[in-house]
Structure 1
């Protein structure tokens, strides 16, 4: 049975491996990423933060997935003052397609609701059709496309 729980500092070695898995998966979509080991997140700070939650999925005492949510300030012209931003979504390859990501998102959404937050957001590369389909199945809808022009 898969168990979802808050991450702890003891989980950091595995979570840092997951972060590099995310980077590797995203490199084909972004030629501006530096070579070698890079870090998107300060995972230790996120685990300790009061305005964020990091969850892990465990199966047979092994961490098989992760995700985080953090509260962000909305733009002053938006109807809500804050929203919850999702990131660090990762599931080990052998457990993909088993609903692990869904369980993590549900847990993160429940945490956000307890904080009084009523909207979840995330970023996904426009060319990452697999991820877009997965998030759309969960109910996310595309909202804004970031564009860039190398000079």
Structure 2
């Protein structure tokens, strides 16, 4: 798989089964539920993106939140299918999220990451994200996290 074959688009209600399947495949805790995905698909303050090589061949997803009167967007979740990891899917999704945030006049993008997720941390730091704070016992299973932010200026 080459990243050039990827297409990033807004998720639709017809993608719900595939979104839930990738979420369950990617995470053991802190998963988005079917009901949460459905709410986010219908929300003005959230955007769900999918990276795929075909209509239902999801290689990655990203969920980003926007708050009214805030110049900071929040990447809530990003997931890459295990078979596509290390092939640029995460970078392509992050580029799309950043562009979406810029179009919504956001000055920064913020995210949280598990402190033990070394590959995600490397990706974020390589793409210009800076660690801004520690999050003790942040995750459902008690794992610590880090908050990162990137200026979109």
Both structures adopt the same fold (TM-score exceeding 0.5): yes
The residue that corresponds to 2:65 in the other structure is 70
Q: Look up the match of 1:20.
A: 24
The aligned residue for residue 48 of structure 1 is 42
The answer on 1:142 being equivalent to 2:146 is no
Matches within 5 A, 1:66-105: 66-72=61-67, 81-105=70-94
2:51 to 37, 54, 57: 57
Residue ranges of structure 1 left out of the alignment (5+ in a row): 28-32, 75-80
Higher relative contact order (CA 8 A, sep 6+): 1
CA separation of 1:109 and 1:57: change in aligned 2, threshold 3 A: same
| Per-residue deviation, residues 31-73 of structure 1 (Å, max 9, x unmatched) | xx7xxx8739711111111122111011143111100111136
Indicate if the aligned counterparts of 2:49 and 2:63 stay in contact, CA closer than 8 A: yes
The residue aligned with 2:12 is 8
Larger strand proportion of the pair: 2
Counterpart CA distance in 2 for 1:41 and 1:144 is: 30
2-side partners of 1:38 and 1:48: how far apart?
A: 15
Q: Scaled by the length of structure 2, what TM-score is found?
A: 0.77
What 5-or-longer segments of structure 2 have no aligned partner?
Answer: 143-153
CA distance in 2, matches of 1:110, 1:38: 23
Partner of 1:112: 101
How far did residue 88 of structure 1 move?
Answer: 2.2
Distance 1:64 1:22 in 2: 11
Of 96-105 and 5-14, deviating more is 96-105
Q: Is the 8 A contact 1:84 1:119 kept in 2?
A: yes
Q: Are the equivalent residues in 1 in contact too, given 2:51–2:58 (CA < 8 A)?
A: yes
